[in-house]
Amino acid sequence: MRLGIIGLPQSGKTTIFNLLTGGDQPVVTSGGRFEVHTAVIDVPDDRLEQIAALSKPEKIIHGKVTYADIAGLGSGSGGEISGPLLNQLTQMDGFLHVVRCFDDPGVPHLSGEIDPERDIAAMDAEMLINDLIAVERKLERLQDEWRKGGGRSKSEIEREIELFKKLQSALSAEQPLRDLDFSNDEKRILSGFGFLTSKPMLILLNLGDGQDPPDITYSHAHSAVASLQGKLEMEIAQLSPGEAEVFLQEFGISESGMARLIHLSYELMGLISFFTIGDNEVRAWAIPRGETAHEASGRIHSDIYQGFIRAEVIHWDELVSLGGLSKARTTGKLRLEGKDYVLQDGEVMQVRFNI
C-alpha cells in the first residue's frame, strides 16, 4: 500500500512524515517545487508480537505501508499538474491530505487566515481540474476513433464514450470520482488511468498543541476525517520508546500518532491483517476485506495458491490462550476451511496444499 502525503504549503506535511518515520526531515516549505520523500513503515501490531512470543521465531515480519511526502501539489496554479508530479500521484493507492488548523505567527498561512474548509476545497479543486482535463482529452480521442473506424467495434467505443461522459459530468459538477459506482467492466477500463479523485482520501486536520479540532464534514465515499497534534506527536515520535510512553501518558494520548495514522490508513483502504507461522518466522499480511482464503494464499506463494487444498484457521487470541499451534491441533481448535472462506481480521492461517 502506497499513500501520498499531500497538502498546501506550510500545512505540516513533512511534520506528519517525520511523525510516521521518527525521522527529522527538515520542516520547510518547498515553495511549490516538486519534491518527494519516501519511507516504508512497519505496521505496529501487538497481536503479531503476542503470536511470535509463542514460538520465538528468528524473524518477525510486520506488514508494510509506504508513505510519500509529496510537495508541489496545491500550488494554486489552477491548471494541469506537471508530468513528473502527476506520475508520482497516479502511483499512489490513496492520499493523506494534511490540512492546517494550527496558528503560528512565525509561519504565516499563504492565504492569510487559517481556514481548513477553504484549504480542503482548494486541494479538491486542483485534483478535479486535472482529472477533468484528462477525461476530456480521452473523450476527444474516443470520438475521433469512432469517426475514423478501425480495429475496434463502434459499439465498444460507444460504451467507453458513455463511461467517460459519465466521468465528465461528475467532475464538471465538482463531484470526485470516488463517489461514483462502477461495474467490474468499467473498473477494468479505468484501471490504467489513475484518476486522482478516484483514490481514497484521509483528511488529516493538523492541530496546534492543546487545540480542539474544528467541526469538518467531508461527505464523500472512500474518505475519512481525523485530527492530531502534528508537532507534538512528531516530537514524541523522535524520543526513545520509554520516554515516548511517559509523554503519551502525560498528555493523555492513548495511542501514538504513528500507530493511529497507520491504523486509519488500513481502514481507509479497506485492509485487514492475517498471520502465518512458519518454521522460523511469524508474519503479518495485509489483504482487502472480503478476500478468500484461497486468494490470500496466493500472497504467501504462487505454489500454495496453485496447490491449495484446505486452510487451517484460528483467531489469534484463541491461539495465544491455547499456547500455540500444536495445542490448537490436539484440542481440535483449528478449523478446516475451503477456498471460498472469507478470512477475518486477526486470523492465523496455515494452508494445506499439494504441488
CATH classification at residue 318: 3.10.20.30
Average pLDDT over residues 175-188: 95
pLDDT at residue number 317? 96
Mean pLDDT score of the chain: 91
- Whether residue 91 is contained in a domain is answered as no
pLDDT at 25 over 80: no
How large is the angle between the packed helices 230-237 and 241-250, nearest 10 degrees?
Answer: 150
Q: What is the C-alpha separation between 22 and 13, in angstroms, rounded?
A: 14
- Whether residue 319 is contained in a domain is answered as yes
Structural domain count, the chain: 1
Q: Are 258 and 314 within 8 A, CB to CB?
A: no
pLDDT band at 233 (very low <50, low <70, confident <90, very high): confident
pLDDT band at 107 (very low <50, low <70, confident <90, very high): confident
Q: Which residues contact 206 (CB under 8 A, 6 or more apart)?
A: 11, 12, 15, 16, 98, 99, 100, 101, 102, 227, 228, 230
- Whether residue 323 is contained in a domain is answered as yes
Give me the torsion for CA of 112, 117, 120, 125, rounded to 10°: -90
pLDDT band at 160 (very low <50, low <70, confident <90, very high): very high
Cell of 346: 486477526
- Whether residue 303 is contained in a domain is answered as yes
- Whether residue 322 is contained in a domain is answered as yes
Amino acid in the structure at residue 180:
L
pLDDT band at 201 (very low <50, low <70, confident <90, very high): very high
Average pLDDT over residues 207-234: 93
| Alpha carbon separation from 43 to 191, 244, 273, 289, 330 (Å, rounded) | 27, 18, 10, 17, 32
Q: Which of 67-81, 94-108, 205-219 has the lowest mean pLDDT?
A: 67-81
- Whether residue 334 is contained in a domain is answered as yes
pLDDT at residue number 32? 55
Q: What is the C-alpha separation between 320 and 306, in angstroms, rounded?
A: 30
pLDDT band at 266 (very low <50, low <70, confident <90, very high): very high
- Whether residue 330 is contained in a domain is answered as yes
Q: Which of 74-88, 155-169, 232-246 has the lowest mean pLDDT?
A: 74-88
Average pLDDT over residues 216-237: 92
pLDDT at 247 over 90: no
Average pLDDT over residues 13-38: 77
- pTM of the model as a whole: 0.90
pLDDT band at 34 (very low <50, low <70, confident <90, very high): confident
- Whether residue 227 is contained in a domain is answered as no
Q: Structural domain of residue 326, as residue ranges?
A: 290-353
More confident residue, 34 or 314: 314
